[in-house]
């Protein structure tokens, strides 16, 4: 029979209940019983929602006290021996120590889950790892859901994905070599599920969406042959990209079904239909697990009906991926207007979409005529709304010429023109933008937003802060100053609030890692900049000093990357709209006398597609968008950019193609190793490698910074080298900030003396 299901549900709770309980538990404000009760209540609610919506299964095993990969590790009993924990008797407190570190041991490393903003904990495996089984929380949750009367589909991360994403702690050991050991562990887990009478189990192997080495692909058939002996029906979950390259493999794999993400990769349906065997289920993910748009039910139904003609009851209806990446419940968005609400669906609303699609498919569209009509009306209003479509914006993007994405002259011509007026000393010093965001600053901003602090007073408070920051920088002897960003809550929200086409939710939180959640703005319409956004602050800051003041903007790619983005335009085009808005701001800053302007792109690398073969096209449009934002100014105006991630040696040509006059990057934690690539590649423009880590309050001794500067000077000629911290200082306190910057200036003076 055709089934309706989701691949997983967010665990944080509609009001972030899990986050608050976790943090109280960590602080010692509540005990373990209170925390576990919060978790159980959330699971009960989320299962009830899935059941009431009309899904055929509830997903169990998708809950985690911190992270799903860590959960898999503790289920398998594969926890790093360095902690000295007994895997079979692991306590919740110890679980959190694995996730967050303890006095003796640093936490497991954390990294991004594919191309999402969710971060998982990286399992540590070595030649001795045994997978002898760990705690039975997973089974407890499956039983709990069953005891609440639900048809349960347990969800597991598959063995190949688990091993692929894990890190080998034994030099030379490939985690794939542990496959023979991990498979029996999975088999025991599956047998326990079979013994409970579970029928279907979802095993996620999202690595199939990557360009996998053949040795890993070869692992699938033997592993799943072994699993098939448990008698369970296995649904292999894939998502986030096309797995069409592996259609033949998946068609012959001994599993009962495969799930496809048709939101990210609708084009993969045909290759699968063309060869799908008569005995296998195909689960089609047509409801977006990662975005907030209401489904176009009519369009989805057409796709499903087409597939059903061939698959019949072997077609299942699903979310594209786990709903983990969606906010929880739209019901709480009381501040958004009705029209906007009609365009949106959060996780809870997506449950109903999936269930309705199945109903329409199997019982006839007349059964869902009311929801179809509402869906059609919402789609029609999105297609025609003047809030979304601004012909002038579209015309501007369409009219972009090659010269708009290029500075007037080449860097070699610009550099002397900039030096002529900047008259900077060798090894010029600067900072990345923000200065400590004190409690007073935050309180003033919040009071202004609530309407209790009059605008004039708010402005005066921010100006006082800017004055303070300028004075401190002058006293320290920094060469290119910043205003400190006191007016910004967040580097995307601040701009989104002033651009057309953005909306903000009250409670649209999505888990980023552990108890951390983010609330991305919703980019729903054409983006334009009605009025200047930062000019007033930068101009005020410049009026206080004779030194050059650096304007501070967030770049188009980062604004795109950190928002929920409309799905009715290509990302490349949306980014160009944002780029033009930023370009207008850059030009206005220049006109206001701000002739050093930084356009931050910390999320530039994050946007890279999952498949390397798609990288070039991304780098091409993303780079073009950056250059459009930066190229409206004269040669004399110096454009900086900032990126705070490691590892960009593999995209250096694209970084160079941004053609920023100066790029500041995070390097101190890699001991300048990162710069080596810049040297080898002969990166042509100026570079400011961070000389100290801003993530810790520690003030490094001057010799440390001097050593890093010398190391940088071996790779980058001194004429092109800047001195700065790794990133912005907003999370730091003033005492360590001043001490660290004074040390940085001291180190710079010594380095200059050595030139
Ligand atoms: N200009 C921003 C700041 O200093 C840059 C932040 C970032 O790179 N994430 O805070
Ligand atoms: Zn940064």
How far is the centre of ligand 1, averaged over its atoms, from the C-alpha of 646 (Å)? Answer: 15
Closest ligand (CA of 432): 1
How far is the centre of ligand 1, averaged over its atoms, from the C-alpha of 110 (Å)? Answer: 21
Interatomic CA distance for residues 30 and 12, integer angstroms: 17
**Per-residue pLDDT, 603:** 94
Average of per-residue pLDDT across 189-201: 98
105-126 pLDDT tens trace = 999 999 999 999 999 999 999 9
**Per-residue pLDDT, 649:** 85
Q: Is the pLDDT of residue 330 over 80?
A: yes
Regarding the beta carbon of 491 and ligand 1, being less than 6 Å apart is answered: yes
Regarding the beta carbon of 694 and ligand 1, being less than 6 Å apart is answered: no
**Per-residue pLDDT, 617:** 98
Average of per-residue pLDDT across 203-212: 98
Q: Is 550 annotated as a binding residue?
A: no
Regarding the beta carbon of 602 and ligand 1, being less than 6 Å apart is answered: yes
Ligand 1, atom nearest to 488 Cα: 10
Task: Give the closest residue (by CA) to ligand 1 atom 10.
Answer: 728
Average of per-residue pLDDT across 239-254: 98
Please tell me which residue in 306, 332, 389, 695 is annotated as part of the active site. 695
Regarding the beta carbon of 534 and ligand 1, being less than 6 Å apart is answered: no
Closest ligand (CA of 646): 2
383-419 pLDDT tens trace = 999 999 999 999 999 999 999 999 999 999 999 999 9
Q: How sure is the predictor about 446, in pLDDT bands with cuts at 50, 70 and 90? A: very high
ipTM of the prediction = 0.99
H-only helix segments in 500-570: 535-543, 556-561
Q: Is 695 left (phi over 0), alpha (psi -120 to 50) or beta?
A: alpha
Does the pTM of the predicted model rise above 0.90?
yes
Find, among 556, 489, 561, the residue nearest to 529 by Cα. Answer: 556
Q: How sure is the predictor about 676, in pLDDT bands with cuts at 50, 70 and 90? A: confident
Q: Is 191 annotated as a binding residue?
A: no
Regarding the beta carbon of 555 and ligand 1, being less than 6 Å apart is answered: no
Choose one of 537, 559, 597, 727 to mutate for the ligand 1 pocket test, by most ligand atoms within 8 angstroms of C-beta.
727
Q: Is the pLDDT of residue 749 over 80?
A: yes
Buried b (16+ CB within 10 A) or exposed e, 485-508: bbbbebbbbbbbebbbbbbebebb
**Per-residue pLDDT, 670:** 86
Q: How sure is the predictor about 628, in pLDDT bands with cuts at 50, 70 and 90? A: very high
Q: How sure is the predictor about 350, in pLDDT bands with cuts at 50, 70 and 90? A: very high
Regarding the beta carbon of 730 and ligand 1, being less than 6 Å apart is answered: yes
Contact predicate 285/322, CB 8 Å? no
Ligand 1, atom nearest to 552 Cα: 1
Regarding the beta carbon of 725 and ligand 1, being less than 6 Å apart is answered: no
Average of per-residue pLDDT across 143-147: 98
Task: Give the closest residue (by CA) to ligand 1 atom 3.
Answer: 728
Average pLDDT of the residues of the chain: 97
**Per-residue pLDDT, 590:** 98
How far is the centre of ligand 2, averaged over its atoms, from the C-alpha of 443 (Å)? Answer: 24
Q: Is 385 annotated as a binding residue?
A: no
Q: Is the pLDDT of residue 605 over 90?
A: yes
Average of per-residue pLDDT across 482-505: 96
Q: How sure is the predictor about 577, in pLDDT bands with cuts at 50, 70 and 90? A: very high
Q: Is the pLDDT of residue 646 over 80?
A: no
534-550 pLDDT tens trace = 999 999 999 999 999 99
Q: Is 37 annotated as a binding residue?
A: no
Task: Let me know if 389 is a catalytic residue.
Answer: no
Task: Give the closest residue (by CA) to ligand 1 atom 1.
Answer: 433
Q: Is 562 annotated as a binding residue?
A: yes
Interatomic CA distance for residues 668 and 693, integer angstroms: 6
Average of per-residue pLDDT across 207-222: 98
Average of per-residue pLDDT across 652-681: 92
Strand-pairing partners, residue 293, are 344
Task: Give the closest residue (by CA) to ligand 1 atom 9.
Answer: 602
Buried b (16+ CB within 10 A) or exposed e, 712-749: bbebbeeebbbbbbbbbbbebeeebbbebbebbbebbe
How far is the centre of ligand 1, averaged over its atoms, from the C-alpha of 434 (Å)? Answer: 6
Q: Is the pLDDT of residue 24 over 90?
A: yes
152-166 pLDDT tens trace = 999 999 999 999 999
Q: Give Rg (Cα) of the chain.
A: 27
Which residue would you say has higher pLDDT here, 295 or 670? 295
Contact predicate 200/153, CB 8 Å? yes
Task: Give the closest residue (by CA) to ligand 1 atom 4.
Answer: 728
Q: Is the pLDDT of residue 645 over 80?
A: no
Average of per-residue pLDDT across 8-18: 98
Regarding the beta carbon of 433 and ligand 1, being less than 6 Å apart is answered: yes
**The two three-digit tokens of residue 515, written as one number:** 């108890």
Q: Is the pLDDT of residue 214 over 90?
A: yes
Average of per-residue pLDDT across 741-746: 98
Q: Is 19 annotated as a binding residue?
A: yes
Helix or strand (DSSP H, E) at 687: strand 686-689
């Amino acid at each position: 029979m055709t089934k309706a299901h989701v691949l997983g549900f967010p665990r944080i709770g509609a009001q972030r209940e899990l986050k608050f309980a976790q943090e109280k538990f960590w602080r010692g404000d509540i005990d373990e019983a209170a925390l576990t009760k919060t978790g159980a209540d959330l699971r009960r609610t989320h299962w009830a929602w899935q059941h009431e919506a009309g899904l055929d299964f509830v997903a169990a095993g998708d809950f985690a006290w911190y992270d799903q990969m860590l959960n898999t590790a503790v289920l398998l009993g594969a926890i790093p021996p360095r902690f000295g924990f007994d895997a079979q008797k692991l306590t919740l407190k110890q679980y959190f120590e694995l996730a967050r570190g303890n006095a003796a041991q640093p936490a497991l490393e954390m990294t991004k889950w594919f191309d999402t903003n969710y971060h998982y904990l990286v399992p540590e495996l070595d030649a001795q790892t045994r997978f002898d089984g760990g705690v039975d929380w997973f089974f407890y949750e499956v039983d709990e859901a069953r005891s609440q009367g639900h048809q349960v589909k347990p969800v597991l991360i598959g063995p190949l994905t688990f091993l692929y994403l894990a890190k080998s702690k034994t030099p030379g050991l490939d985690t794939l070599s542990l496959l023979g050991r991990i498979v029996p562990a999975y088999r025991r887990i599956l047998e326990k599920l079979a013994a409970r009478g579970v029928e279907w189990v979802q095993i996620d192997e999202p690595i199939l969406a990557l360009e996998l080495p053949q040795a890993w692909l070869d692992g699938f058939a033997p592993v799943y042959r072994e699993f098939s002996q448990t008698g369970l029906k296995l649904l292999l979950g894939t998502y986030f990209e096309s797995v069409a390259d592996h259609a033949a493999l998946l068609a012959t794999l001994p599993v009962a079904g495969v799930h496809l993400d048709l939101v990210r990769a609708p084009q993969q349906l045909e290759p699968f239909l063309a060869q799908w065997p008569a005995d296998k289920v195909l689960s089609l993910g047509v409801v977006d697990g990662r975005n907030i748009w209401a489904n176009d039910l009519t369009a989805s139904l057409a796709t499903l009906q087409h597939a059903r003609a061939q698959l019949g009851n072997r077609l299942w209806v699903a979310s594209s991926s786990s709903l983990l990446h969606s906010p929880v419940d739209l019901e709480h968005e009381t501040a958004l207007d009705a029209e906007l609400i009609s365009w949106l669906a959060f996780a809870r609303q997506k449950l109903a979409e999936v269930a309705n699609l199945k109903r329409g498919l199997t019982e006839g569209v007349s059964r869902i005529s009311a929801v179809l009509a509402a869906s059609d009306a919402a789609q029609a209003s999105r297609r025609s709304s003047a809030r979304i479509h601004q012909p002038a914006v579209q015309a501007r993007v369409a009219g972009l010429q090659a010269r708009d994405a290029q500075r007037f002259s080449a860097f070699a011509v610009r550099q002397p023109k900039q030096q002529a007026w900047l008259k900077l000393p060798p090894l010029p010093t600067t900072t990345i933008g923000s200065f400590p965001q004190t409690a007073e600053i935050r309180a003033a901003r919040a009071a202004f937003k609530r309407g209790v602090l009059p605008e004039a007073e708010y402005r005066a408070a921010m100006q006082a802060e800017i004055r303070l920051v300028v004075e401190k920088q002058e006293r320290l002897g920094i060469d290119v100053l910043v205003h400190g960003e006191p007016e910004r809550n967040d580097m995307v929200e601040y701009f989104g609030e002033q651009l057309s086409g953005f909306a903000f939710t009250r409670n649209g939180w999505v888990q980023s890692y552990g108890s951390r959640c983010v609330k991305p703005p919703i980019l729903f319409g054409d983006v334009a900049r009605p009025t200047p956004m930062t000019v007033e602050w930068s101009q005020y800051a410049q009026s206080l000093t004779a030194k050059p003041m650096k304007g501070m903007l967030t770049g188009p790619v980062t604004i795109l990357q950190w928002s929920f983005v409309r799905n009715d335009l290509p990302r490349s085009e949306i980014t160009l709209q944002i780029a033009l808005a930023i370009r207008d701001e850059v030009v206005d800053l220049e006109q206001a006398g701000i002739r050093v302007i930084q356009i931050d792109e910390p999320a530039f690398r994050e946007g890279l597609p999952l498949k390397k073969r798609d990288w070039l096209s991304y780098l091409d449009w993303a780079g073009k968008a950056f250059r459009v934002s930066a190229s409206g100014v004269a040669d004399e105006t110096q454009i900086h950019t900032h990126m705070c991630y490691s590892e960009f040696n593999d995209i250096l040509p694209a970084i160079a193609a941004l053609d920023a006059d100066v790029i500041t990057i995070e390097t101190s934690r890699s001991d300048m190793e990162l710069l080596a690539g810049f040297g080898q590649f002969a990166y042509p423009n100026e570079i400011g490698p961070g000389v100290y880590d801003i993530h810790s309050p520690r003030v490094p001794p001057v010799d440390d910074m001097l050593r890093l500067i010398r190391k940088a000077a071996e790779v980058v000629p001194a004429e092109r080298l800047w001195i700065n911290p790794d990133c912005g200082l907003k999370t730091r306190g003033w005492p360590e900030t001043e001490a660290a910057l004074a040390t940085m200036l001291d180190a710079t003076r010594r380095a200059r003396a050595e030139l």
